[in-house]
Chains A and B, each alone.
Chain A
Amino acid sequence: QKEVEQNSGPLSVPEGAIASLNCTYSDRGSQSFFWYRQYSGKSPELIMSIYSNGDKEDGRFTAQLNKASQYVSLLIRDSQPSDSATYLCAVLTGGGNKLTFGTGTQLKVEL
């Protein structure tokens, strides 16, 4: 079992819809969770971090964390074509020293 798992997609949503991206992790001791966005040919860019159970909202983005079920999700409201990218879930592991990344979910927002 991989430490951080994501569905590779592609996930296609129409413009204006809500995109829902999911991630599961195996290390129960993990405390810090991140979502990175990566455009094709570019470097990963941090868009959200979450440390406590529940929801955290930042603009059109909402991160959700459920430590008991070991999953973290990212919701993107009012999806725009510019949101089309690969979204990487990352979990702080190794006693809080290492970020382990999932393989990413490709999101396509269609006009």
Chain B
Amino acid sequence: DARVTQTPRHKVTEMGQEVTMRCQPILGHNTVFWYRQTMMQGLELLAYFRNRAPLDDSGMPKDRFSAEMPDATLATLKIQPSEPRDSAVYFCASGPRTEERTDTQYFGPGTRLTVL
């Protein structure tokens, strides 16, 4: 049963600390997305990669957020320094590339981040 995995599932940290979230996409998927979900804003796209190359990170605050894919089995989202307004659930999703559609996305369980 192929699934997207994310670690950690929960993270509580203090303002100013660095936070790193990790995602393992489904094996064979070549597109990876990072989303943030809050009650107020809903689900927002932060960044996405195709074949490990960043295609769009316009949804991400550049001064403190960074996203990378060091290899095909790992995507990371880093916040440094973290702020209370970063408290949210962060989802990773991956998608396959097919001849017809490259848009189906499968979500991981999310990382619930609380910044005190």
* Residues of A participating in the B interface, judged by any CB pair closer than 8 Å: 32, 34, 42-46, 49, 88, 92, 94, 96-104
* Residues of B participating in the A interface, judged by any CB pair closer than 8 Å: 33, 41-45, 48, 55-56, 91, 101-110
Known interface pairs A42-B109, A103-B42; 17 further A-B residue pairs with C-beta atoms within 8 A, sorted by A's residue number = A32-B101, A34-B103, A43-B107, A43-B108, A43-B109, A45-B107, A46-B104, A49-B101, A94-B56, A98-B48, A98-B56, A99-B103, A99-B105, A101-B43, A103-B41, A104-B42, A104-B43
Determine if A32 and B103 form an interchain contact, defined as CB atoms under 8 angstroms apart.
yes
Q: Which of A49, A98, A101, A104 contacts B104 (CB 8 A)?
A: A49
Chain A residue at minimum C-beta to C-beta distance from B95: A99
Nearest-neighbour CB distance to chain B for A55, whole angstroms, equals: 19
Contacting residues, chain A, for B102 (C-beta < 8 A)? 96
Nearest-neighbour CB distance to chain A for B1, whole angstroms, equals: 14
Shortest 6 CB-CB contacts between residues of A and residues of B: A103-B42, A43-B107, A101-B43, A92-B103, A44-B107, A32-B103
